[in-house]
Structure 1
Amino acid sequence: MSEKNNVELDGHNLTLENIWEVAYGASAISIAPRCAQRLQDARTLVDNLAQSGKPIYGINTGFGFLAETPISDEKLGLLQHNLIVSHAVGVAAPLEPPLARALMLLRANTLAVGHSGCRPLILENLVQLLNAGCAPFVPRKGSVGASGDLAPLAHVALLLLGEGNAFVDGKETTAAQALAHAGLTPIQLAAKEGLALINGTQAMTAVATMTLLEAERLCALADVVGACSLEALMGTNKAFAHRVHAARPHPGQVESAQNLRLLLNESEILESHKDCGKVQDPYSLRCMPQVHGASRDALLYVRQVLEREINSATDNPLVFLDGDFGDEGDEIISGGNFHGQPIALALDFLAIAVAELANISERRVEQLVNPTLSAGLPAFLAEDAGLNSGYMILQVTAASLINENKILCHPASVDSIPSSANREDHVSMGMTSANKAREVMKNVRHVMGIEALAACQALDFRHPLKPGKGVAAVHQKVREKIPFAKADRWFKLDMDEMEKLMADDTLLVVAESACGSLN
């Protein structure tokens, strides 16, 4: 077995790609040596202030509406334990283990920033659990996104306490067994540590990160699959000319047009009808760079938001030491960095942007299966149509998914329901945005898979003319796994196989091997 890469946590330099690697067990993690002193100094400040008797939120007071309730010194640890068990009330199916691992990694990284005031032991245990292949059992629903993702993060903290369930190497087990597997024992929380574990945006940010990385690949796949459809529909590449996009240089649009030119290079199909007299293609073909590119640009914005968030301190209150950010004095300050609004807005934008990839994809599917639009292709791409229905209902499935996406794209971030007796009177609903965006992304991949199946079936009807190098390579790879449909069969199996080819980047890899690196 090859040695894993190492990701060093310091609270400042984590990347989105690091998160993916750790989530799937491809990288181990360690704590940067320089974190130790910072963590200990912040902890010492918390301990000193806790012993001073001065009321400080989350250390010796209740929480939320109960923030004015003082807590005696001998009950400070119990206060933190009670916080975790009372807040771990999420519902619905748990996050998949990679998403839950991303969540735990992000919480570890924000603790490494050094503004939370927890003991180094807390961070060390999170890292040890991750390196042992463990993941918390985190129900995906139950957060309003301020004061952070309280319920999801409380389920992470339960694992440290040895309570509830967990995953080890993807298999569900008890938290106690997961701790034992990692060589750990349950911890007893000290002052502020429960709050330090659950105040923050790491649940929505984890789902956002994993969804964004998949969505970025879907943008490239949209160009690949769209190029296949354009060839099959006898479209033209003239609208992708460099000067057209130089005249309106949105970065994503320029990148998408460049991809399409590469994929269609050396196409016999395009050459065969270049003088046919057809003036221009429908928008779903001609405007691929403009539509796909706009989604790319939206995802770039989401990436920038997440890159800031994953290396931020989102706890409350925050522990500051003399000299932090140029300010003097040690201080614990109550603020609002737990509020998920930046992530919620970005996630709603992500969902809308990715959904458009499916909207335009489904329109190309309709052209491929509709004999009045398909430039001579048989109805529903079926031989002996009538006896065979061909891909008739694949388009219906795509339409169903498009409909669901339109509902899911209603922004959650425009809603706010006050909680905690109106103390928390504005919330982000960012976790709802995250869950919706992930469902949209999955639906988009299904729709694009349907388009890829239809385009490859249609390309066979254009034989012996050969498509461009990139399209030809994709068609060949698909045919290695999914044969031409001479007659009706259970097409769901073909859809599942195509899903695999898209999800594991096979189609992108073969396209790039043939035509060069894609944006």
Structure 2
Amino acid sequence: MQDNGPSLVCAPPAADARSGIVLGEDALTVADAARFAREPGDVPIAIGEDAALRMDASVAARDRLILMRRPIYGVTTGFGDSARFHLSPEKTTELQRNLIKYHLNGTGPSAPVDVVRAAMLVRANCLARGYSGIRRGVVELIVDCLRHGITPVIPERGSVGASGDLVPLCYLADLLMGSGTARVDGEPVPAAVALRSRGLDPVAFEAKEGLALINGTSFMSGFGVLAVHDAEGLCAVADLGTALAAEALMGNRSHFEPVIHRQKPHPGQVRSAARVRALVRGSDLCLDTPQVLEANPDVDGLGVIPLGRPIQDRYSVRCAPHVNGVLADTLDWVRRWLDIEINSTNDNPLFDFATGRVHNGGNFYGGHVGQAMDSLKLAVASVGDLLDRQLAMLVDTKFNHGLPPNLVRRVDPGDPAAGLHHGFKGMQIAASALAAEALKLTNPATAFSRSTEAHNQDKVSMGTIAARDARSVVELVTEIAAIHLLAGCQAADLRGAHLLGLGTRTGYEVIRDHVPFVDHDRRLDEDLGVVVGLIRSGALVAALRPHWDADV
């Protein structure tokens, strides 16, 4: 945060789960926002005292400038291409109402409540920084709505990501005026009823306030912080999947030795290899390179003989840290970019209360969020493709080193059940479909800028579409990972689960506590849903963490 004078600035407090979230002091993180969005009522929030003073100062600067009767964009002028019309100060309130009304044209499914909560938190935090010319009471109403479980119903579609998320954020502004539809604890009700039920009063927007609410990147950031949070868990789960696959395929654990990865020391690659190595520690299914060599006969004078055990595994196992490491390293910079974005003032115009001046710019442009989300979805989809390839080997007798086809339980040829059951055949087909859909969505949304609004918005970010895509790719790959883990546990049972490494056995036991071995053909969608839940809740990663903390 830049210096605005000694009377209004203090050092940002450290974000901490016990003290809660302090808005407007540049301390909000992706982790804070994701936790708040997913755990209503568990994390207290408040506007920082100095942030409130800055908001008061920017409103005072705004009002002084209005009294000078000079044109101020979006305050005493029209919007966008219509800014060529200069309006009298008396029309500023009606102008803000009309701004909200004509943008209420969103389409598509309603955004999930956790995305909306994240977007509301981020918007309140950005406005509380004190450059937007909006009263503290308006931001406090957003905070009160969050405290009481009131969220607007926001259609997902309609934003080009500049001037920010105009259309979706209008539904938040509409709620604050007491209009439209809200959800209270997940149930749809008229917004006026929702506010009244919690003892809250709607607001009438003053000059600039409607524009301040909608002219920013908070809706795309709401999708973004949750996509990053979920992708971080998925990154760890993918290492468990690789470890299980390496054991089920009786692979070579030397592929994950530190000496290899120190020679190409991308942090994510090194961390992924260390995690896999830690998970398979103590395994009797994976072998080290000397053990693999020992398991093969000596060629001594025999010319050419087939190896009984391959000395190196296929790329989807051997190169797994190189694939998952890209996701880990992408997450590092994506998280940094989003941390900056959700602590920024990203509307227009901005009021510098220290100088009394108004500044016109383009901070509403969602370019950083768009680029981050396009990159994230590509890295996540690549991990999904990796897991799908590992799964294809697990079910195929040409590659799975003696496991039964499709991981069907073993039966004697004379058993009446022989040939009747098909195990994971359908699951592998489903995973392939999910992988294809995830890969399809990697087309970069940011490459599709469109000139709009009479060529005033002639270069736009498409950041919101990129963020929605990233959300969808993470969901798809989470489902692939769940199928993969179910297959890995099935293969472990067929090999002998007692032979697993210490870490993979922990993951196996967490899953087996909820989902049984597939000993006959049955519906597996409910099993899949359970494992997806274990991934999304973080329960699976939490159980694994003690095994790799010492290594990474």
The correspondence for 2:441, drawn from 400, 408, 412, is: 408
Give SS of 1:332's match. strand
The equivalent of 2:50 in structure 1 is 34
CA distance in structure 2 between the aligned counterparts of 1:308 and 1:6, rounded to whole angstroms: 19
User: Given the superposition, is the C-alpha separation of residues 75 and 359 from structure 1 closer, same or farther in structure 2, using an over 3 Å criterion?
Assistant: same
Question: 2:385 matched to 1:359?
Answer: yes
The equivalent of 2:495 in structure 1 is 462
The equivalent of 1:17 in structure 2 is 31
TM-superposed CA distance for 1:518, in Å, is: 7.6
Give SS of 2:265's match. coil
Give SS of 1:481's match. coil
The 5-angstrom pairing of residues 254-403 of structure 1 reads 254-271=270-287, 274=292, 275-277=294-296, 278-322=310-354, 329-383=355-409, 384=411, 386-403=419-436
The answer to whether the 8 Å contact 1:240/1:260 transfers is yes
The answer to whether the 8 Å contact 2:242/2:317 transfers is yes
Give SS of 1:390's match. coil
Question: 2:180 matched to 1:148?
Answer: no
RMSD, aligned α-carbons = 1.6
The 5-angstrom pairing of residues 470-481 of structure 1 reads 470-481=503-514
The equivalent of 2:13 in structure 1 is none
The correspondence for 1:422, drawn from 432, 451, 455, is: 455
CA distance in structure 2 between the aligned counterparts of 1:312 and 1:300, rounded to whole angstroms: 19
Question: 2:223 matched to 1:190?
Answer: no
User: Given the superposition, is the C-alpha separation of residues 518 and 194 from structure 1 closer, same or farther in structure 2, using an over 3 Å criterion?
Assistant: farther
User: Given the superposition, is the C-alpha separation of residues 465 and 133 from structure 1 closer, same or farther in structure 2, using an over 3 Å criterion?
Assistant: closer
Question: 2:121 matched to 1:102?
Answer: no
Question: 1:277-333 CA distances to partner (integer Å, 9 max, x unpaired)?
Answer: 3210001111111111011111112111101101111010011122xxxxxx32111
Letter matched to residue 530 of structure 2: E
The answer to whether the 8 Å contact 1:101/1:136 transfers is no
Letter matched to residue 451 of structure 1: H
The equivalent of 1:162 in structure 2 is 178
Letter matched to residue 182 of structure 1: R
TM-superposed CA distance for 1:499, in Å, is: 1.2
TM-superposed CA distance for 1:4, in Å, is: 7.1
The equivalent of 1:225 in structure 2 is 241
CA distance in structure 2 between the aligned counterparts of 1:414 and 1:136, rounded to whole angstroms: 30
TM-superposed CA distance for 1:449, in Å, is: 0.7
Larger Rg: 2
TM-superposed CA distance for 1:517, in Å, is: 6.2
Give SS of 2:179's match. coil
The correspondence for 1:488, drawn from 513, 521, 535, is: 521
Give SS of 1:57's match. coil
Letter matched to residue 18 of structure 1: D
Letter matched to residue 279 of structure 1: I
CA distance in structure 2 between the aligned counterparts of 1:42 and 1:473, rounded to whole angstroms: 55
The correspondence for 2:541, drawn from 502, 508, 511, is: 508
Question: 1:31-72 CA distances to partner (integer Å, 9 max, x unpaired)?
Answer: 111122211111011111112110110111100110011222
CA distance in structure 2 between the aligned counterparts of 1:439 and 1:151, rounded to whole angstroms: 21
Give SS of 2:286's match. helix
Question: 1:231-274 CA distances to partner (integer Å, 9 max, x unpaired)?
Answer: 11101110111111111100000100110111011112225964
Letter matched to residue 449 of structure 1: A
Question: 2:213 matched to 1:211?
Answer: no
TM-superposed CA distance for 1:124, in Å, is: 1.2
Question: 2:133 matched to 1:114?
Answer: no
User: Given the superposition, is the C-alpha separation of residues 363 and 493 from structure 1 closer, same or farther in structure 2, using an over 3 Å criterion?
Assistant: same
Question: 2:250 matched to 1:234?
Answer: yes
Give SS of 1:413's match. helix
- The number of residues matched between the two structures is 511
CA distance in structure 2 between the aligned counterparts of 1:15 and 1:291, rounded to whole angstroms: 26
The equivalent of 1:8 in structure 2 is 22
Comparing 264-273 with 372-381, greater Cα deviation is found at: 264-273
TM-superposed CA distance for 1:126, in Å, is: 1.0
TM-superposed CA distance for 1:514, in Å, is: 5.0
Give SS of 1:67's match. helix
The answer to whether the 8 Å contact 2:121/2:143 transfers is yes
TM-superposed CA distance for 1:515, in Å, is: 5.5
TM-superposed CA distance for 1:174, in Å, is: 1.8
CA distance in structure 2 between the aligned counterparts of 1:179 and 1:14, rounded to whole angstroms: 26
CA distance in structure 2 between the aligned counterparts of 1:514 and 1:414, rounded to whole angstroms: 42
The answer to whether the 8 Å contact 1:269/1:465 transfers is no
The equivalent of 2:5 in structure 1 is none
CA distance in structure 2 between the aligned counterparts of 1:468 and 1:230, rounded to whole angstroms: 11
User: Given the superposition, is the C-alpha separation of residues 98 and 108 from structure 1 closer, same or farther in structure 2, using an over 3 Å criterion?
Assistant: same
The answer to whether the 8 Å contact 2:503/2:547 transfers is yes
Give SS of 1:355's match. helix
CA distance in structure 2 between the aligned counterparts of 1:178 and 1:419, rounded to whole angstroms: 35
Give SS of 1:22's match. helix
CA distance in structure 1 between the aligned counterparts of 2:451 and 2:259, rounded to whole angstroms: 52
The answer to whether the 8 Å contact 2:316/2:386 transfers is yes
The correspondence for 2:145, drawn from 121, 129, 151, is: 129
CA distance in structure 1 between the aligned counterparts of 2:144 and 2:440, rounded to whole angstroms: 41
CA distance in structure 2 between the aligned counterparts of 1:152 and 1:64, rounded to whole angstroms: 17
Give SS of 2:513's match. helix
Letter matched to residue 255 of structure 2: A
TM-superposed CA distance for 1:117, in Å, is: 0.5
The answer to whether the 8 Å contact 1:11/1:110 transfers is no
Structure 2, unaligned runs of 5 or more: 1-16, 297-309, 412-417
The answer to whether the 8 Å contact 1:80/1:193 transfers is yes
CA distance in structure 1 between the aligned counterparts of 2:433 and 2:286, rounded to whole angstroms: 32
TM-superposed CA distance for 1:465, in Å, is: 4.9
Comparing 381-390 with 455-464, greater Cα deviation is found at: 381-390
Comparing 297-306 with 164-173, greater Cα deviation is found at: 164-173
Comparing 66-75 with 396-405, greater Cα deviation is found at: 66-75
Letter matched to residue 508 of structure 1: V
TM-superposed CA distance for 1:74, in Å, is: 2.1
TM-superposed CA distance for 1:182, in Å, is: 3.4
TM-score by length of 2: 0.90
